[in-house]
Amino acid sequence: MPRNICQCPRPPGGRVECSADNAAFCLVDDYGEFRSLCLPIAQSMRLPVPFGVTPAGAFWIVHELPKRLDPILARLSQNDVAAYVREILRQATFPATGKFMMDFQSINRRLSTSLPE
């Protein structure tokens, strides 16, 4: 069965493996501790950016996703939220199909993500 694999930021490294229809997340704090999570993302959230981003999709990626990953992410600075959304939108779909890493300086967290096709 196909797997969705996310490489964790270094240090400490490692990887998260999820089913092909789940997003794989690896969240690393400033002590180098990491937590992994497999999170289903509804097909309706994976829309091509050129055709527009739905308000529901924008709300989900900015408000709902951080809460599901880690309550501390809800305390992100506005600059970190803006950088996070820009990085996702830079990819070809929404949420992105593919992999990206973010360094949230305001809360000392690094996030790597591999989103489902």
What pLDDT, in 10s, does the model give residues 79-104?
Answer: 888 887 777 766 655 555 577 788 88
Number of residues assigned to the chain: 117
Sequence-distant (6+) residues with CB within 8 A of 25 are: 6, 16, 36, 37, 38, 39, 69, 111, 112, 113
Q: What is the pLDDT of residue 99?
A: 78
Sequence-distant (6+) residues with CB within 8 A of 64 are: none
Q: What is the pLDDT of residue 45?
A: 63
pLDDT beneath 50, residues of the chain: 49-51
Could you state, in order of their start, the residue ranges of all structural domains in the chain? 3-115
Structure tokens at 24: 């794989």
